[in-house]
A and B are shown apart, each in its own frame.
Chain A
């Protein structure tokens, strides 16, 4: 339970000098319009049970105007999605601290990301020629991330089938971990030139996407109910810490999203 008061509009005006005739910038005036003045009690009431709410509410809202929590843009194939979702859960598993990547919606985060600029590498240099780089030269693949993930997911599925004749998403956690460890150690042959793709680099993308998905602002569809932030005690988008920055006590503050 958070004890600290939120930064108030009055404090804000005081510290920026607006209340005492100081000049404040254009953004500040605009920012005040959307300034979050909800008190903490009303926040409490909308907090959902951390885990497991996504699938059910997604189904029930599918025909309404609300965006279904289980809706997807990029992954058209259910098994592809189940595979990556299961792999992400192993990177960041559910435990006694709180939800894992699956309940946090990290795979839905990735789905939206792959459908956009991230998946198409649109702000990155993608001109050839393409060569395998040294360890210090970074991403050198001709594949964009959308293609890289599709390839990696296919390889996860093939490994699961080869080793256990079972879908990756249906394997025991330990079996999934063994496959992922081999990906991480670059032991899985992708049957393409190293300059195109390696299992180790796919694993790196998977790990990064998982952490992005569990900890980014909920507007990106992961970090559901801000439960990723709550576990870490990260207060999200707070306008100011000026009133508590000098405190010697640890401040347990309920998180706020960037919007809403």
Chain B
């Protein structure tokens, strides 16, 4: 028996950054809001002993439990997809705050070029540059950077971003709310080397606090202690902006908001009498196994990328993308990033074990279209990063490429190198491709009997060329920094491997746009086929840029919230 609950104005599926932002903004407007979160409650009191590399970084304490739900994966359509039994390449979160609890806090903006990549590339280089013959499917997002700027600004103020003006960045409406973090010795080495090579390094925009900060909603964040346990961990100091300590608290203070935990949504229900509307969502209480129906005026899908896709698909909302015919949109535009670089080996010891998730410098000289691609066989690029997130001993065992992976030589070198290697790497764009998409798996099921999501993905020739170009730029910087030996990740990328961690920066599956023929939601994040259904998150990206995506995720969520409020007032489609 499905129990029906009291109706709310807005229900969000998930209580991470996107759900939290939508909840904060709509509850402040007086709407009654509920978030259904599949994971449990957790707060700063749960992180008093979080400096445990094995538990959090190796055993994924804060991450999605794949025994309940995972995905299947294959490189190409002619392969059999098999389940991701253990997380690897990316790490979706679960519980209050979602992946926003264990992120590093690197908070970039995307470039004007990203939002208009097709028009701007065509205008500068001609249509052939878009390489449609190779299967790439570039298009504009339907929204411009200038339209997005105020949402970026709002997110940066909520998250208390510490940063400085980027000479290669787009125009800002106001400065970062906090000054940059501390520039350490190794950051200065990178800065000097990059400047000597005529690049424009800046301190990385960081949601780790450079000082005490009260955000516009009145939430307080404390100064970062540079303790080096950020990525894959939660912050015990409230010094990293997370949904838990910002937007979720803001929403809760209004008295109009409730999070229901252990509530796994299994279906978005379409109105029997009006197929342009949804009536609410079905969910399972994972503690009691009871089934509920939560009616709502507006449903906002704010879970991680895979679940945003999956809930639409299992609810039969929208048309599945088919790579043969290229018809349908749901599941299309799945993109990732490459994150390789060059490692420099030094004699000198550095304090590599100190740091913070977003303590670093970046240079955008080889990002977007900031450099000439006329003679290059790829478009876009990537930001060059030098970060001091803090090395930890289990995961950091750097050796030269030709050193054995175990035994005496390995031990000697990996121990010696722990404090004597520095890496410069890129975070690089990948473009949407005809053959890269999400579908449902026909064989493997999740713990609730629903099909697992199936991912088909591989690197392209452009990704290879871009990676080679960028990693060699990284090597130039490392050389300039004075390394005595350099290993460069400029080999062929081979097939995309789901096992080693690369980054949790995945995108697409429910892309935005101005045309229902090639997008799932409009640029207000409103679903084309259901007026009162919105989708927010990196799933709505049209491609993945060469910067960290969380800033854009936050900006999109603020725009979505504005759309939800407008819709709730006028009950109109928002693109009109």
With both beta carbons as reference points, the residue of chain B lying nearest to A34 in the complex is identified as: B48
Q: Name A127's closest neighbour in chain B (CB-CB).
A: B444
Q: Is the interface of B mostly helix, strand, loop or mixed?
A: loop
Residue pair B45, A27 in contact (C-beta under 8 Å): yes
CB contact between B44 and one of A26, A237, A241 (< 8 Å): that residue: A26
A4 to chain B, nearest CB (A): 10
CA distance A27 to B74 in the complex (A): 43
* Chain B residues numbered 58-101 whose CB sits less than 8 Å from any CB in chain A: 58-60, 65-67, 70, 73-75, 79-80, 82-86, 88
A240-B65 Cα distance, complex, nearest whole Å:
31
CB of A75 within 8 Å of the partner chain? no
Task: Say yes or no for B516: interface residue by CB 8 A criterion.
Answer: no
A59 to B185, CA, bound (A): 48
Taking a contact as CB atoms under 8 Å apart, the answer to whether A140 and B415 are in contact is no
Q: Which of A171-227 contact B (CB under 8 A)?
A: 177, 180, 184, 207, 210-212, 215-217, 220
CA distance A258 to B56 in the complex (A): 13
- CB within 8 Å: A-B pair count: 204
Tell me if A31 and B236 are in contact (CB < 8 A): yes
Min CB–CB distance B137 → chain A (angstroms): 23
A251 cross-chain contacts in B, Cβ below 8 A: 351, 354
Q: Mark B209-243, 1 if CB is under 8 A from A, else 0.
A: 00010000000101111111000000011100000
Most-contacted residue by chain B among A127, A129, A248 (CB, 10 A) = A127
- Chain B residue contacts of A210, Cβ below 8 A: 406
Q: Which residues of A contact B51 (CB under 8 A)?
A: 236-238, 258
Residues of the A chain whose Cβ atoms lie less than 8 Å from the Cβ of B44: 25-28
Contacts of A24 in B (CB 8 A): 222, 238
Look across to chain A and name the residue whose beta carbon is closest to the beta carbon of B351: A251
A219, closest chain B residue (CB): B52
- In the assembled complex, which residues on chain A have CB atoms less than 8 Å from the CB atom of B118? none
**Chain A residues positioned under 8 Å from B254 (CB to CB):** none
Note all chain B residues with C-beta closer than 8 A to A228. 393
Q: Which residues of B contact A25 (CB under 8 A)?
A: 44, 222, 237-238, 245
Q: Which residue of chain A is the closest to B445 with respect to CB atoms?
A: A127
Per-position 1/0 for B176-208, Cβ under 8 A of A: 000000101100000000000000000000000
**Contact of B74 with A124 in the complex, beta carbons under 8 Å:** no
Q: Are A140 and B408 in contact (CB under 8 A)?
A: no
Q: Which residues 235-260 in A have Cβ within 8 Å of B in the complex?
A: 235-242, 244-248, 250-251, 258-259
CB pair A90–B236 under 8 Å, yes or no, is no
Q: Which residue of A lies closest to B65 (CB)?
A: A123
Most buried by B among A15, A125, A228: A125
Interface string of B475-508 (1 = CB under 8 A from A): 0000000000000000000011111000000000
Question: Which residue of B is nearest A7, CB measured?
Answer: B225
* Contacts known (A23-B220, A137-B498, A250-B419); A95 close to B411, Cβ less than 8 A: yes
Asked if A81 is an interface residue, CB under 8 A from chain B, the answer is no
**A64, CB-defined interface residue at 8 Å:** no
CA distance A22 to B224 in the complex (A): 14
Q: Are B411 and A259 in contact (CB under 8 A)?
A: no
| A interface bracket (residues with beta carbon within 8 Å of B) | 35 or more
A135 to B185, CA, bound (A): 40
- B394 to A, closest residue via Cβ: A215
Residue of A nearest to B75 (CB): A136
Give chain B's interface residue range (CB within 8 Å of chain A).
35 or more
B418 within 8 A of A: yes
For B53, list chain A residues within 8 Å (CB): 215-217
A92–B408 Cα gap in the complex (Å)? 7
Q: Which residues of B are found within 8 Å of A15, using beta-carbon distances?
A: 223, 225
Would A28 and B54 count as touching, CB distance under 8 A?
no
Q: Is the interface of A mostly helix, strand, loop or mixed?
A: loop
A214 to chain B, nearest CB (A): 8
Contact assessment for B412 and A97 in the assembled complex, using a CB-CB cutoff below 8 Å: yes
A122 touches B67 (CB 8 A): yes
Query: Which B residues are in CB contact (< 8 Å) with A180?
Result: 406
Q: B83 near A231 (CB under 8 angstroms)? A: no
A17 close to B223 (CB less than 8 A)? yes
- Check if B54 sits within 8 Å of A216, measured CB to CB: yes
Kindly state whether residue B139 has any CB partner on chain A within 8 Å: no
B227 A238 Cβ-Cβ under 8 A: yes
Is the beta-carbon distance between B182 and A246 smaller than 8 angstroms?
yes
- Judged by a CB distance under 8 angstroms, whether B47 is at the interface is yes
Q: How far is the CA of A91 from the CA of B397 in the complex (A)?
A: 13
Residue of A nearest to B70 (CB): A125
CB of B493, distance to nearest CB on chain A (Å):
11
User: What residues of chain A lie closer than 8 Å to B391, measured between beta carbons?
Assistant: 234
Q: CB-defined interface of B20-47 with A at 8 Å, one 1/0 digit per residue?
A: 0000000000000000000000011111
Given known contacts A125-B85, A138-B84, A232-B419, what 12 new A-B pairs fall within 8 Å (CB)?
Answer: A16-B222, A24-B222, A27-B45, A27-B47, A90-B406, A97-B412, A121-B86, A232-B393, A232-B418, A233-B353, A234-B391, A242-B225
| 23 sample A-B contacts, Cβ–Cβ < 8 Å, listed by A number | A22-B220, A25-B237, A25-B245, A28-B44, A30-B48, A34-B48, A118-B59, A121-B67, A123-B65, A123-B67, A124-B66, A124-B86, A136-B497, A137-B498, A138-B86, A139-B86, A216-B394, A232-B393, A233-B418, A237-B51, A242-B226, A250-B349, A258-B49
4 tightest A-B contacts by CB? A27-B44, A240-B225, A216-B54, A215-B393
Seen from chain A, the residues whose Cβ lies within 8 Å of a Cβ on chain B are: 15-17, 22-28, 30-31, 34, 90-93, 95, 97, 100, 117-118, 121-127, 129, 131, 133-140, 177, 180, 184, 207, 210-212, 215-217, 220, 228-229, 231-242, 244-248, 250-251, 258-259
